[in-house]
Amino acid sequence: MRLSVVMAVYNAEKYLNKAMDSILGQTFDDFELIVVDDKSKDRSGQILHEYARKESRMVLLENQENMGLAKSLNRGLAVAQGEYIARMDADDISVPHRFEQQVRFLDQHPDYTFVSCIGRYIDEEGNQEQLRLFPETNEEIYAMMPKVDAVMHPGVMFRRADVAAIGNYCEELRVVQDYDLWFRGMAAGYKFYNIQEPLVLFRRNHSYNVRKNRAYRLMDLKVRKKGYKLNKIPFYKWGYLIVPLILAVIPPKVMDKMFYTFKKLDPRNKAVQKKDRGRHG
């Protein structure tokens, strides 16, 4: 089997059908879909059982207690059979040719471990908003990583064996598991690429900024420090540690209201836009 899609679900009944349908409707169909229900309290479990009854490619795992994202993803990875792993979140939407393009990239570039993409924000009703930009090349991603997470987690596909070799997701982390994984991938010399096409519609609902509370920002700080040390990031770049501290003091309601204003300061956006101006200048 070429591909395993791994998705963890917790209380996602509002958007789950659209997320599932976007996976099952992909133009690339040589995959298994492994869904881990992390002890949802809403109708997510019922919805997943309905899909499992109809879809032979689906494997449904149910946690007996709420384990969090990292442990749930590792549980899915433990049973995955695919050469490649595609991540997906239960409130996002993958465009129909996402898997086809990413499998083709990894097939054609055997020296790369991770391929993700840019995205497009959608609101609670699915209305499309602005692009969610990320740097393109491995060199640009490595340079951006000390500043900010430079790879979109729900849009990533990676080589299962490579990620297993560095221990999969860190189960001690309740949040920022992806940033930690990227730093460990960098330390292992793995290569990254972000396809410059919005292959994922990324849900920005009212809970998006609420989830990124002070505890989240402090964990972000901890993961950054660990990643800097692991990758021997020069000390003059450690000043970027102030970023999660600044974000921690901005109230979620303010962040939500001024989201796209703050995004103008995002180094990912500025870097991609500067590169585009250079291409067309």
Give the domains, in start order, of the chain with CATH numbers.
3-280 (3.90.550.10)
What pLDDT does residue 281 have?
57
DSSP string, 71-102: HHHHHHHHH---SEEEE--TT-EE-TTHHHHH
- Block mean pLDDT (10 aa), the chain, length 281: 97 97 98 98 98 97 97 98 98 98 98 98 94 97 97 98 98 96 98 98 80 89 97 94 91 82 81 67 57
CA dihedral of residues 250, 238, 276, 193 (deg, nearest 10): -100
What pLDDT does residue 47 have?
98
Of residues 10, 29, 27, the one with CA closest to residue 211: 10
Q: Name the phi and psi angles at 246, rounded to 5.
A: -65, -45
Tell me the per-residue pLDDT of 144-184, one tens digit each, with 9 for 90 and over.
999 999 999 999 999 999 999 999 999 999 999 999 999 99
| Mean pLDDT score across all residues of the chain | 94
What pLDDT does residue 254 have?
85
What pLDDT does residue 260 have?
85
Tell me the per-residue pLDDT of 3-14, one tens digit each, with 9 for 90 and over.
999 999 999 999
| H or E stretch at 279 | helix 267-280
- Taking only Cα atoms into account, the Rg of the chain, rounded to an integer number of angstroms, comes to 18
Tell me if 90 sits within 8 A of 12, measured CB to CB: yes
Of residues 81, 191, 209, the one with CA closest to residue 136: 191
Rounded Cα distance between 94 and 88, Å, is: 8
Question: What's the distance, Cα to Cα, between the start and end of the chain in Å?
Answer: 45
Angle subtended at Cα 70 by Cα 169 and Cα 34, rounded to the nearest 5 degrees: 95
What pLDDT does residue 278 have?
62
Q: Name the phi and psi angles at 98, rounded to 5.
A: -55, -55
